[in-house]
Amino acid sequence: MAIKPTDNETFYREVDEELRREQMRSLWERYGKLAIVGIVLVLAAIAGAIWWKNHQEAQAGKKGQELIAAFDDIGRRDKKAAMPRLEGLAKADVPGYRVAALLTKADLAVEDNNLDGAAQLLQQVSGDENLDPVYRDLALVRLTHVQFDKLAPDAVIARLKGLAVAGNPWFGSAGEMVAISYLKQGKQKEAGQIFAAMAKDKKVPESIRSRATQMAGSLGFDAVVEPVAKQEGNQ
């Protein structure tokens, strides 16, 4: 009896499916255990990543509480209680907490008139290339402020000139020290230009802008910002 075409198709499909099953069985016998191990490793990696993220968040939460507690101690004038907390945070692997602790310790050192100790702490931050430049620049400005009376004017200018420009977050503090250093060198024009620029920069703190306006005026520079005139016919 002849096999009909439809029977041929059915037969071929059954043979093909059987071959596929045989191939899969063979592959599983060869690589099945490796596949299981691979899946387990992937799941373990995912679980590990989730645990590490949760662990980091928990640790960050603890560090945040510790920093707040240290600030509370300082607010109560209890430096003895605050210092161990700050010492621990100064070794934290989270940059923000580490910087906050070191800068706070530096402030306390300045308050105790320990300028050398404060300078060492600030140098630790400003010289740490693993930190964000904003942190490092802030520490450099404060370091220069602590050492200002001992530094030669050209040293101050060399250190802060790159920060004493409009648009820089530390333009006010850095610009003031650079301008004063120019005055010490007898460079009134350079000093006046910086004072005038600070006076006109609304991002500079008001107290510094006020001083800059007075200094710029005394040096013959116009530091008054003219109000924008309203154009007629504005809708």
Q: Is the distance from CB of 196 to CB of 221 less than 8 angstroms? A: yes
pLDDT at res. 71: 82
**Comparison of pLDDT for 2 and 94, the residue scoring more:** 94
Could you tell me if 221 and 185 are in contact, meaning their C-beta atoms sit under 8 angstroms apart?
no
Lowest mean pLDDT among 25-29, 98-102, 229-233: 229-233
- Two tokens, residue 188: 């009134």
Q: What angle in degrees, to the nearest 10, is found between the helix axes of 133-147 and 171-184?
A: 40
Q: For the chain, give me the number of helices (H) and strands (E)? A: 9, 0
The pTM of the full predicted model, rounded to 2 decimals, is: 0.67
Q: Please tell me the distance from the alpha carbon of residue 95 to that of residue 204, in angstroms, as a whole number.
A: 26
Q: What Cα–Cα distance (Å) separates residue 192 from each residue in 96, 175, 179, 227? A: 36, 11, 7, 22
Q: Which two tokens stand for residue 213?
A: 């306006």
CA distance 156 to 194: 14
**Distance between start and end Cα atoms, the chain:** 97
Position 24 confidence tier, pLDDT thresholds 50, 70, 90: low
Q: What are the boundaries of each domain within the chain?
A: 151-223
pLDDT digits (tens, 9 = 90+) for 31-58: 555 444 444 444 444 444 443 344 444 4
Shortest CA distance to 172 belongs to which of 216, 210, 209?
209
pLDDT at 27: 52
Per-residue pLDDT, 21: 56
Cβ(218)–Cβ(199) below 8 Å: no
Tens digit of each residue's pLDDT (9 = 90 or more) over 78-126: 888 889 988 988 888 888 888 888 988 998 899 899 999 999 999 999 9
CATH of segment(s) 151-223? 1.25.40
- pLDDT single digits (tens) 133-157: 988 999 999 999 999 999 999 999 9
206 close to 189: Cβ distance less than 8 angstroms: no
pLDDT (0 to 100) of residue 229: 45
Query: To which residue do tokens 């924008």 refer?
Result: 228
